[in-house]
């Protein structure tokens, strides 16, 4: 459109309105993700300290016979789950907001990657043995993971007592066998008797048939001690019954406790899996909420250019 200026100069006014395309942004903003991770860790630590303060304030050892009961442990787990979800949501929100993205998928992915980094740092911390320092109450779940690699006797005192009883019974049998010969007995008879006794105990411990080793021990006792054949058989049968009873009790206890440990580990793994899934969605939801307004990137501008000609 031609216009006339104050100096009688002909000019042409060109007005155009252009809808700009969204500004091309990087696919991943690692700085924003790092900020989200820091925010998540700080919020988690703050919430855990608040939970510790509330928990300690509710405990009164002077008036309560059991200061820390089962309800306290349940409350700790619930508080831990809630604080974890809140901190991951905040971390995802911070990562998406600072990335400046308006795309919902990118916002969700920024939150998800933030969750992944937090999860990796958490697992590294747990496996490094300093969980109690950094994670505070979070080491509750790590105790379940710590069962891996330990023996049943290390975990359950009940198993240790059963094993100790079996060992004590075997030592008593050895003492009784050694007591059948006088102190001044020759070396060979003493060695033969001890070997026969050890063979019997080994067969019982391995769950093998004791018929042959039983007869060998009975014959050795009858030939080298003052006991008759019948007395030797009675004595050996008592030893076998006692050793088999304690061995069976120990095996039963170990199997039962091992099953309980397996169930506990399965439950712990299931809880961790659910927490990871829920935590990922919490961080992703924070990323969705943290996305910038689309108008910040899709905007309309008007530009007027005057081309003067003389």
Cα Rg, the chain, nearest whole Å: 39
Contact at 8 Å (CB) between 115 and 44? Answer: no
**Residue 16 in tokens:** 């155009």
pLDDT of 207 reads: 80
Give the number of other Cβ atoms within 10 Å of residue 192's Cβ: 17
Give the number of other Cβ atoms within 10 Å of residue 231's Cβ: 14
**Residue 45 in tokens:** 């630590």
160 Cβ neighbours under 8 A, 6+ residues apart: 153
pLDDT in tens, the chain (310 residues): 444 555 554 544 444 444 444 555 557 888 999 999 999 999 999 988 888 888 777 766 555 555 555 566 677 778 888 899 999 999 999 999 998 888 888 999 999 999 999 998 888 877 765 444 444 444 444 444 444 444 444 556 777 777 788 888 888 888 888 787 776 667 776 788 888 888 888 888 888 888 888 888 888 888 888 888 888 889 888 988 888 888 888 888 888 888 888 888 888 888 888 888 999 999 999 999 988 765 544 443 333 344 445 5
Chain mean position to CA 66 = 27
Contact at 8 Å (CB) between 31 and 95? Answer: no
pLDDT of 100 reads: 85
Question: How far lies 306's CA from each of 5, 10, 11, 16, 212, in Å?
Answer: 11, 10, 6, 12, 116
pLDDT of 36 reads: 93
161 Cβ neighbours under 8 A, 6+ residues apart: none
Contact at 8 Å (CB) between 55 and 85? Answer: no
Q: Which neighbouring-strand residues pair with 13?
A: 306
Alpha helices in the chain (DSSP H): 30-58, 70-99, 104-127, 131-134, 139-145, 152-155, 157-179, 187-206, 211-224, 229-289
pLDDT of 129 reads: 52
Altogether, the residues listed in the chain come to a count of 310
Q: Which neighbouring-strand residues pair with 12?
A: 2, 307
């Amino acid at each position: 459109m031609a216009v006339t200026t104050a100096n009688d100069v002909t000019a042409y006014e060109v007005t155009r309105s252009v809808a700009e395309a969204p500004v091309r942004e990087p696919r991943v903003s690692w700085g924003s993700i790092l900020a989200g991770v820091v925010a998540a860790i700080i919020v988690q630590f703050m919430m855990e300290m608040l939970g510790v303060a509330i928990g300690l304030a509710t405990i009164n050892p002077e008036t309560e016979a059991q200061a820390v009961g089962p309800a306290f442990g349940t409350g700790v787990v619930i508080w831990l789950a809630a604080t974890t979800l809140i901190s991951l949501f905040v971390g995802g929100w911070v990562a998406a907001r600072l990335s400046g993205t308006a795309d919902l998928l990118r916002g969700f992915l920024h939150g998800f990657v933030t969750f992944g980094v937090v999860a990796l740092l958490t697992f590294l911390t747990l496996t490094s043995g300093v969980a109690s320092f950094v994670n505070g109450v979070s080491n509750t779940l790590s105790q379940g993971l710590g069962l891996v690699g330990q023996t049943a006797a290390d975990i359950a005192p009940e198993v240790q007592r059963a094993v100790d009883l079996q060992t004590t019974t075997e030592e008593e049998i050895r003492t009784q066998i050694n007591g059948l010969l006088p102190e001044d007995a020759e070396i060979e008879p003493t060695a033969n008797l001890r070997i026969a006794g050890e063979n019997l105990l080994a067969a019982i411990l391995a769950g093998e048939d004791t018929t042959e080793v039983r007869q060998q021990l009975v014959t050795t006792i009858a030939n080298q001690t003052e006991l008759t054949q019948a007395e030797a058989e009675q004595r050996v049968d008592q030893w076998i019954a006692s050793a088999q009873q304690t061995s069976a009790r120990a095996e039963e206890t170990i199997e039962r406790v091992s099953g309980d440990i397996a169930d506990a580990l399965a439950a712990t793994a299931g809880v961790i899996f659910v927490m990871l899934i829920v935590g990922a969605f919490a961080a992703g939801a924070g990323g969705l909420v943290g996305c910038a307004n689309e108008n910040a990137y899709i905007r309309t501008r008007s530009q007027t250019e005057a081309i003067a000609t003389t």
